[in-house]
Structures are given as structure tokens and as C-alpha cells.
Amino acid sequence: MNKSVGSILGLERCSTCNKLALRQETISVPVSEYEALKAAADSSVQRKKIASYRAISGSKIAKNPEMAEFIIECAASMTVSEVREACKERFGAATPSWSSIFRFLDAMKRGGK
């Protein structure tokens, strides 16, 4: 193996047996364990997002972090009507009304005040 490729992969030669091994600061875990750790982290982030949106707004939108983030992201460059149309394309029948979107965005702008 090319030394630079070994360096990129985080491998080094063992001084005792001369075999390639992971560096001491590197760990390896089974893919299933890695996926479980990622899912737990994502779940924790989702709970935090839900809590922060709910602290500002009591709407149904605030209880759906995916929709809330989508609406906030779209609102940066679209009108409320355009945001609603984009929501229809992405969320279908679960799309909130124009007025619900407006109130949610207004609450986000005011920061819950």
C-alpha cells in the first residue's frame, strides 16, 4: 500500500509485527452501531428543534420540525403564497393554510414575544 494512501486511510505500520493498523486515536465500530449512534443523535437534535419551535409557537407547524424548517427556509426568498405552494408540493394534504403559515412566520420573526 502506498504510504500516502495509508496516511489518508488512517493506517500505520505496527512496530512489533509490521502489519497495517489503525492509529491509536482512531476507533472502529460496526456499521450497525454507527447507524444507531447517528439515529440517536438525530433524534436528540429533532427533540431540541421541536422544543425550540414550540417555545415560540403553539401551532401544528411547530410540532413538525421538518415542515417548520422548510417553511422558514422558503420564507427567506418567497412570499407566504409561494411558501404555501412549495409546501403543497412537498407535504401534500398536510400543508397548513396560508394564515397558519403567516402566523408561524410572524411568531418566528418576533421570537415568541
Residue 77 and residue 41 in contact, taking contact as beta carbons nearer than 8 Å? no
- Judge whether residue 5 has pLDDT over 50: no
Rounded to whole angstroms, the Cα distance separating 68 from 81 reads 16
Residues 6+ apart with CB under 8 A from 28: 22
0.85 cut: is pTM over it?
A: no
- Residue 50 has a pLDDT of 61
Report the length, in residues, of the chain.
113
pLDDT tens digits, one per residue of 56-112: 777 889 888 889 989 999 999 999 999 999 999 999 999 999 999 999 999 888 875
Weakest-pLDDT range from 20-24, 46-50, 57-61: 46-50
